[in-house]
Structure 1
Amino acid sequence: MSFDVAAVRAEFPALAAGAAHFDGPGGSQTPRVVARAIHDTLVSPIANRGTVTRAERSAEAIVGGSRAALADLLGADPGGIVFGRSMTQLTFDIARTLADSWSAGDEVVVSRLDHDANVRPWVIWAEKAGATVRWIDFDPESTELTPQHVADQLSDRTRLVAVTGASNLIGTRPDLAAIAEQVHGTGALLYVDGVHLAAHAGIDIAALGVDFFACSPYKFFGPHFGVLAASPALLETLQPDKLLPSTDAVPERFELGTLPYELLAGATAVVDFIAGLGGELAGDRRERILASMAAVDEHEDRLRQRIEAGLAELESVTLHSRARHRTPTLLLTFADRSAGDAYRFLAELDVNAPAGTFYAYEPARRLGLADGGLRVGLAPYNDDSDVDRLLDGLAKFVG
């Protein structure tokens, strides 16, 4: 399958500024088709959703279209797509709602591999409910989180397990299907932070057996808001806090206030854009998304291997991303200089690779990296010239 990176790059106006962007894990650049969809929505007739006026019908169509698009992206039911301000906000909301059914003796399981957005909401609400918090470890040498790590923390009192689909710090991808089988064997629910994973892999939450999957479109070329996917039947069993006159229908009962129609239109545009990344493909949108993401994976993995080969020649650089199955996200530290120094040095060369822990508080501590490291994250618009600039810059920095 072809992947025309030059054609992809041409769709991103920000790249004309000349920087090599390895900062995608914190938020990708945006293609012009997404910006156009946002603009066109803002300047078109729009109103609260309804069926009477043209403006009302436009809003209704945008919301329905975005639910359908994101369902195609994630392998979900459109009736189970919930929109929110951010993945963090949605996770806090679901944690608060589920905690209504927890009590002393119940157990909530979180992971030391996760971004804090999939840790602290569960810890806070478990403690409020009097439930016990148990921790899934990972191996700091291999950076693997295995199904056995999860099994070690499960019991017949487990109510929920929260785990990442891929670490935003080091890229590790746990075996979600195997973990889901274990979790469901205890009768518990599985909540997955898919923010980092969704930017690099085709997602099928039904095949994975995930109960909740949360992500953020701005990590895969879209606008800034959050998305939660779950089965409508599961959502029907939950009663979130909401305003009295607001609808009790699913998924709307989980959405607070008027939705950002322009951002939802941008999300639909980005799903269609992703479906075309593999070129002219046959099939419906879902099939084209999966084929395109397979092409993206092949492209990014080739560039990752180039970077790792170049890093191997730099003796003072340590690569902390070592899991066998991972995203093209590399965390680096340096023998005698700080990652922050590397970040600033590369920035002077117009190579954007930030340093820090990136809210991955627990994995950074487990790796003994209180200040984190330099994170090099690939995106589909990266090319070989970007990699050349990165490796040349790092060689100068350590040399």
Structure 2
Amino acid sequence: MMTSTAPAGPTGFDVAALRAHFPSLASGIAHFDGPGGTQTPRPVADAVTATMTAPISNRGTGALSETNADAAVGAFRLAYADLLGVPAAGIVYGRSATQLTFDFSRILAQDWGPGDEVVVTRLDHDANVRPWVLAAERAGAEVRWIDLDPATAEFDPASVADAVTDRTRLVAVTGASNLLGTRPDVRTIADAAHAVGAQVFVDGVHHAAHQFVDVPALGADFYVCSPYKFLGPHCGVLAADPGLLETLRPDKLIPATDVVPERFELGTLPYEMLDGATAAVDFLADIAPGDDPANTSRRERLRASLHAVDAHETRLRHRIEEGLADLGADVVVHSRAADRTPTLLLTLPGRKTRDAYRFLLDHDVLAPAGSFYAYEPFRRLDLDDEHALRLGLAPYNDDSDVTRVLHGLAAFLAQV
């Protein structure tokens, strides 16, 4: 898919060849809004269109329209099994990661009660906080918090040590912060949770967009992600061990199947979205698939491609950080964790970041301002109502994008 006569870049793939697959980039906008949702490559859009215009109906084994629908579901599960490192029977489709988290919070809380504890963090997007807080409150369980240290943008070690007790039933933790980019040590937290018999629910929405994922190695019992954060359509995916899913009893219609994972998917699935999400995985796998892609599994091609993407994005992130440092005290960078994604949260002392956002828009640079549903970390950083500016990279960003955003910020700050 990425074949080009141009030489590969220093981080393993030809960015110009990659960008050619994204019709939206012809707008001339330099997109730094990847954490909110990426642009869509042509093969993903084509897959959606092909499914919607082909014979399609409810799943079955008779008519072509029935087998097309069944094939879309099977291909989707296999693709996300390869992306996340779990069996295909452990892949659940959802409208969004938020919807899936709310659904599973209600299911898992069915046997919680007074005396039980649920652990959430001050680093997470609210989609991995509020569902658990609400479920705990309704069950009479106590909520405990892992705190965020604003000085480091990492978890407070003492808080981590104190959070998990022998009464903990579940720990909800992010794989990577959509606000600050921080990638916490999920495995250590998961090991502590499992030692007391608790389950671990990982929000991988920002994590899966920037790192090769191995759900079992991460220690996650449940892992959610959103394909539209990594070049796919707007939907959500949950990954878990099929044996664990077999133990859960969601509410469902009487005629609806009780087979895992279908028992968690309510109503007729949107087959066009499934095929688009599958195409996104295939596109990722072809970015930099290694030396012998024809004889390499899709999971191994994903590993090679995502390592190349990570190297590319990290290099660009370093360029941005160096440029921001040159702007001096006019810019405060809150993304400080030792291990982090290519996502930077900025405030501009004495200036409104929404003004900077609008100024950059006038220069065809999209760097959004807001709190980005990261309610707890935003409060913990004591930013009050001063919405911050977020610069988030995606695989299609290039050096010219970085130059434009740095020049744009410098011009904004130079205004009297």
TM-score by length of 2: 0.95
Residue by residue, what CA displacement relative to the aligned partner does 1:187-220 show, whole Å, maximum 9, x if unpaired?
Answer: 1000000000100000000111210000100000
| Match of residue 223 from structure 1 | 233
Shift in Å, 1:325: 0.1
* Superposed counterparts of 1:157-176, under 5 Å: 157-176=167-186
Inter-partner Cα distance in structure 2 for 1:304 and 1:86: 28
The equivalent position to 2:388 in structure 1, one of 352, 373, 379, is 373
Shift in Å, 1:183: 1.0
Shift in Å, 1:152: 1.3
| Match of residue 331 from structure 1 | 345
Moved more, 47-56 or 271-280: 271-280
| Match of residue 264 from structure 2 | 254
Residue by residue, what CA displacement relative to the aligned partner does 1:309-361 show, whole Å, maximum 9, x if unpaired?
Answer: 00001121000000000000000000111111111110010000000000000
| Match of residue 8 from structure 2 | none
Q: How many residues align?
A: 399
Match of 1:253, as an amino acid?
Answer: R
TM-score by length of 1: 0.98
The equivalent position to 2:356 in structure 1, one of 334, 342, 365, is 342
Residue by residue, what CA displacement relative to the aligned partner does 1:276-315 show, whole Å, maximum 9, x if unpaired?
Answer: 1115543110000011000001000000000000000112
Match of 2:46, as an amino acid?
Answer: R
Q: SS of the counterpart of 1:190?
A: strand
The equivalent position to 1:98 in structure 2, one of 103, 108, 133, is 108
| Match of residue 213 from structure 1 | 223
Contact 1:2 1:279 in 2 (8 A): no
Contact 1:3 1:279 in 2 (8 A): no
> Does residue 139 of structure 2 align to residue 125 of structure 1?
no
* Superposed counterparts of 1:282-321, under 5 Å: 282=292, 283-315=296-328, 316-321=330-335
Shift in Å, 1:100: 0.6
| Match of residue 372 from structure 2 | 358
The equivalent position to 2:206 in structure 1, one of 196, 202, 215, is 196
Inter-partner Cα distance in structure 1 for 2:26 and 2:318: 26
Match of 1:326, as an amino acid?
Answer: R
The equivalent position to 2:22 in structure 1, one of 9, 12, 18, is 12
Match of 2:21, as an amino acid?
Answer: E
Contact 1:145 1:172 in 2 (8 A): no
Inter-partner Cα distance in structure 2 for 1:317 and 1:31: 33
Cα distance change on mapping 1:294 and 1:280 into 2, 3 Å = closer
Inter-partner Cα distance in structure 2 for 1:325 and 1:14: 31
Contact 1:72 1:285 in 2 (8 A): yes
Q: SS of the counterpart of 1:312?
A: helix
> Does residue 43 of structure 2 align to residue 28 of structure 1?
no
Q: SS of the counterpart of 2:112?
A: coil
Q: SS of the counterpart of 1:290?
A: helix
Inter-partner Cα distance in structure 1 for 2:405 and 2:258: 51
| Match of residue 395 from structure 1 | 410
Contact 1:22 1:377 in 2 (8 A): yes
Match of 2:383, as an amino acid?
Answer: L
Contact 1:4 1:279 in 2 (8 A): no
Inter-partner Cα distance in structure 2 for 1:148 and 1:73: 34
Inter-partner Cα distance in structure 1 for 2:162 and 2:13: 42
Inter-partner Cα distance in structure 1 for 2:410 and 2:291: 40
Match of 1:301, as an amino acid?
Answer: T
Inter-partner Cα distance in structure 1 for 2:365 and 2:412: 12
* Superposed counterparts of 1:128-143, under 5 Å: 128-143=138-153
Contact 1:146 1:175 in 2 (8 A): no
Inter-partner Cα distance in structure 1 for 2:350 and 2:398: 30
Residue by residue, what CA displacement relative to the aligned partner does 1:153-186 show, whole Å, maximum 9, x if unpaired?
Answer: 1111100000000000000001111111111011
Shift in Å, 1:151: 2.6
Inter-partner Cα distance in structure 1 for 2:384 and 2:183: 22
Residue by residue, what CA displacement relative to the aligned partner does 1:35-84 show, whole Å, maximum 9, x if unpaired?
Answer: 00000000000111111111111100110000000110111111010011
Q: SS of the counterpart of 1:152?
A: helix
Shift in Å, 1:148: 5.0
Contact 1:331 1:375 in 2 (8 A): yes
| Match of residue 399 from structure 2 | 384
Inter-partner Cα distance in structure 1 for 2:58 and 2:340: 42
Inter-partner Cα distance in structure 1 for 2:187 and 2:177: 16
Shift in Å, 1:397: 0.6
Inter-partner Cα distance in structure 2 for 1:195 and 1:324: 20
Specify every segment of 5 or more residues in structure 1 that has no aligned partner in the other structure, as ranges.
Answer: none
Inter-partner Cα distance in structure 2 for 1:383 and 1:254: 40
Inter-partner Cα distance in structure 2 for 1:396 and 1:145: 35
Residue by residue, what CA displacement relative to the aligned partner does 1:214-252 show, whole Å, maximum 9, x if unpaired?
Answer: 010000000001100000010011001111110111000
